Amino acid sequence: MISILMATYNGERFIREQIDSILDQTYQDFKLYICDDVSSDNTFAIISRYAESNPDKIIVSQLERNTGSAKFNFMKLMIEQKDDYLMLCDQDDVWVQDKIEITLSKMKAMESIFGIETPILVHTDLEVVDNNLKTISPSFREAMNADYTKTELRNQVIQNTLTGCTAMYNRALADLITIEPRYMVMHDWWLILIASAFGKVGVVEEQTVLHRQHNKNEVGAKDVRTLRYKIDRVLKYKKVKEAINITYQQADSFLRTYFESLSADQRKLLTAYSDIPNHFKLVRIYRIFRLGTFKNGFSRRVAHIIFI
């Protein structure tokens, strides 16, 4: 019933703990698909041994050449693998023992309300930990000051609220993932854009993942509530501007990919949003107010207006 998709690259240090935590889940009706992005360490050998020991649970493959980013590896898996339910999995985390059971329960509850034909995405909170699984922040959502209730397309075009390693999505959503987009910031952002445009997004407030932070994280967790973070955003304003600018490119890519399936209002939103950088600053500010495409939180909104 459930396919778990794991993208790996040079993950030998932590991957055993992650696979063990999956094999130890209270819910056992799953298969783990691991695709390696041509690791230069022992990752592929490790996952191959796990597959040999657990042939009914683990299927391993390796790409012909390195893609340069986990998002491309994940997207390949998401395009290829279809099942009743699918979950995304990072190589260096540890899953809480009842993660699958908790997430599936929420998914079933939402399907009972909206129907299995509705594309549904469910995600959860995380506990942020260090290399040794010592707690850094008990709640990723609180540390990031994230508002998981902002599930409309206009909210998601500017700010991703999904952490991919907590996600489960159903077959109706999976069937909408057929090609790699011309541009995407990250695979999980693309996934929640699809859910926001065509279906429903559900949230579990519990922490179901020990989200490990180390120097090789492709996307790290930061406590945005701290003064240090706010000062850093000002000092590194070019990165803030770039983080805003890439959302226009992604919105245009989403519009082109799903144009025929989008409603007239959604097309209008994405067209107007992706066109924002072609105008003077006052017009850009006016556009985000008119479209309601704001980042969450007061300081983020102020920075958005300043650096747009």
Which CATH number does the domain housing residue 79 bear? 3.90.550.10
Question: Which three-class secondary structure state does DSSP give residue 66?
Answer: coil
For residue 180, what are its two tokens? 């790699």
Number of domains forming the structure of the chain: 2
pLDDT at 271 over 70: yes
Q: Which residue has the higher pLDDT, 225 or 259?
A: 259
pLDDT at 90 over 60: yes
Gap between the Cα atoms of 164 and 158, Å rounded: 17
Do 80 and 154 have their domain in common? yes
Summarize the confidence of residues 124-150 as an average pLDDT: 95
Gap between the Cα atoms of 169 and 12, Å rounded: 28
Query: Is 248 within 8 Å of 308 (Cβ atoms)?
Result: no
Do 121 and 233 have their domain in common? no
Gap between the Cα atoms of 22 and 16, Å rounded: 10
Nearest to 162 by CA among 118, 126, 111, 119: 126
Do 167 and 47 have their domain in common? yes
Neighbouring residues of 79: CB distance < 8 A, sequence distance ≥ 6: 177, 178, 179, 180
The proportion of the chain whose per-residue pLDDT surpasses 90, expressed as a percent, equals 86
Do 189 and 255 have their domain in common? no
Do 285 and 189 have their domain in common? no
Summarize the confidence of residues 35-51 as an average pLDDT: 98
Do 155 and 291 have their domain in common? no
Do 172 and 284 have their domain in common? no
Q: What residue numbers bound the domain in which 36 lies?
A: 2-212
Do 122 and 235 have their domain in common? no
Could you tell me how many residues make up the chain?
308
pLDDT reported for residue 297: 81
Do 256 and 199 have their domain in common? no
Q: Is residue 218 part of a domain?
A: no
Q: What is the pTM of this model?
A: 0.92
